[in-house]
Structure 1
Amino acid sequence: MNAVSLKIERSRAFVTVFLKEVKENLRDRRTIVSAFLTGPLLGPIMLVMLLNITLNREFNKAEQPLPVPVIGANYAPNLIAALKAGGIVPTAAIGNPEVAVRKQDADVVMRISPDFATSWRRGEPVQVEVIYDSSQRDANTAVERVSQLVESYARQQGAMRLVARGLAPSTAWPVTAARRDQATAQARAALMFSILPYFFVLTVFMGGMYLAIDLTAGERERQSLEPLFANPVSRWKILAGKLAAICVFSIASLLISLVAFGVVGRFIPTEKLGMELDLGLHFSGHVLLLMLPLIVLLAALQSMVAAFAKSYREAQTYVSLLMFVPVLPSILLSTMPIKAQGWMYAVPLLGQHLGIMQLLRGDGIDMQQLGLCLAGSLAAAVLGVLATVHLYQSERLAISS
Structure 2
Amino acid sequence: MSAFTAVYWKEVRENLRDRRTLINALITGPLLGPVMFIMLMNVMVNRELAKTDRPLAVPIVGADLAPNLVAALKSAGIDAAAPLSDPENAVREQRTDIVVRISPSYPAAWKNGQPVQVELIYDSSRRDASTPVMRVRSVVEGYGKREGAMRLIARGLSPTTAWPVQVADRDQATSQSRSALMFSFLPYFFVLTVFLGGMYLAIDLTAGERERQSLEPLFVNPVARWKILAGKLGAICSFSVVSLLLSVAAFATAPWFIPTEKLGIALDLGWRFGSQVVLLMLPLILLLAALQSLVSAFAKSYREAQTYLSILMIIPVLPSALLSVIPVRAEPWMYAVPLLGQNLGIVQLLRGDGMPAWQMGLCLAGGFVTAALAVWGTAQLYRSDRLAISG
Match of 1:230 among 204, 216, 220: 220
Q: Does 1:284 align with 2:284?
A: no
- TM-score, normalised by the number of residues in structure 2: 0.99
Give runs of aligned pairs for residues 165-176 of structure 1, distance below 5 A.
165-176=155-166
Partner of 2:69: 79
- AA at the equivalent of 2:14: E
Cα distance, 1:146 vs. partner? 0.5
Q: Following the alignment from structure 1 to structure 2, what is the Cα–Cα distance between the partners of residues 378 and 294?
A: 8
Partner of 2:388: 398
Match of 2:106 among 89, 92, 116: 116
Partner of 1:248: 238
Q: Does 1:42 align with 2:32?
A: yes
- AA at the equivalent of 2:286: V
Q: Does 1:271 align with 2:248?
A: no
Q: Following the alignment from structure 1 to structure 2, what is the Cα–Cα distance between the partners of residues 311 and 194?
A: 37
Q: Following the alignment from structure 1 to structure 2, what is the Cα–Cα distance between the partners of residues 265 and 113?
A: 47
Q: Following the alignment from structure 2 to structure 1, what is the Cα–Cα distance between the partners of residues 126 and 249?
A: 36
Q: Following the alignment from structure 2 to structure 1, what is the Cα–Cα distance between the partners of residues 255 and 201?
A: 29
Cα distance, 1:321 vs. partner? 0.8
Partner of 1:7: none
Q: Following the alignment from structure 1 to structure 2, what is the Cα–Cα distance between the partners of residues 279 and 206?
A: 22
Match of 1:70 among 60, 65, 78: 60
Cα distance, 1:266 vs. partner? 2.3
Partner of 1:348: 338
Cα distance, 1:265 vs. partner? 3.1
Q: Following the alignment from structure 1 to structure 2, what is the Cα–Cα distance between the partners of residues 17 and 102?
A: 64
Q: Following the alignment from structure 1 to structure 2, what is the Cα–Cα distance between the partners of residues 144 and 99?
A: 21
Partner of 1:367: 357
- AA at the equivalent of 1:16: A
Partner of 2:251: 261
Cα distance, 1:89 vs. partner? 1.2
Partner of 1:20: 10
Partner SS for 1:233: coil
Cα distance, 1:263 vs. partner? 2.1
Q: Following the alignment from structure 1 to structure 2, what is the Cα–Cα distance between the partners of residues 38 and 102?
A: 39
Q: Deviations over 1:307-360 (max 9, x none)?
A: 111110110010011111011111221222111111110000001011101110
Cα distance, 1:31 vs. partner? 0.8
- AA at the equivalent of 1:393: R
Q: Following the alignment from structure 2 to structure 1, what is the Cα–Cα distance between the partners of residues 168 and 100?
A: 31
- AA at the equivalent of 1:245: A
Partner of 1:385: 375
Q: Deviations over 1:175-228 (max 9, x none)?
A: 101010001111000111000011000000010010000001100111111111
* 8 A contact 1:300–1:388 mirrored in 2: yes
- AA at the equivalent of 2:240: S
- TM-score, normalised by the number of residues in structure 1: 0.96
Q: Which runs of 5+ in 2 are unaligned?
A: none
Q: Which runs of 5+ in 1 are unaligned?
A: 1-10
Q: Deviations over 1:226-267 (max 9, x none)?
A: 111111111111110000000000000000111111123322
Q: Does 1:325 align with 2:325?
A: no
Identity percentage over the alignment? 66
Partner SS for 2:253: helix
Match of 1:214 among 204, 217, 229: 204
Match of 1:91 among 81, 96, 104: 81
Q: How many residues align?
A: 391
Q: Does 1:195 align with 2:190?
A: no
- AA at the equivalent of 1:255: L
Partner SS for 1:276: coil
Q: Following the alignment from structure 2 to structure 1, what is the Cα–Cα distance between the partners of residues 199 and 93?
A: 44
* 8 A contact 1:351–1:373 mirrored in 2: yes
- AA at the equivalent of 2:343: H
Match of 1:151 among 126, 129, 141: 141
Partner SS for 1:59: helix
Partner SS for 1:176: coil
Q: Deviations over 1:98-118 (max 9, x none)?
A: 111111110111111111101
Q: Following the alignment from structure 1 to structure 2, what is the Cα–Cα distance between the partners of residues 96 and 215?
A: 66
Q: Deviations over 1:9-61 (max 9, x none)?
A: xx721111100000000011111111111111111111111111101111111
**Superposed structure 1 runs of 4+ greater than 4 Å apart:** none
Partner of 1:161: 151
Partner SS for 1:129: strand
* 8 A contact 1:352–1:373 mirrored in 2: yes
Q: Following the alignment from structure 2 to structure 1, what is the Cα–Cα distance between the partners of residues 372 and 133?
A: 55
Partner of 1:6: none
How big is the alpha-carbon RMSD for the aligned residues of Structure 1 and Structure 2? 0.8
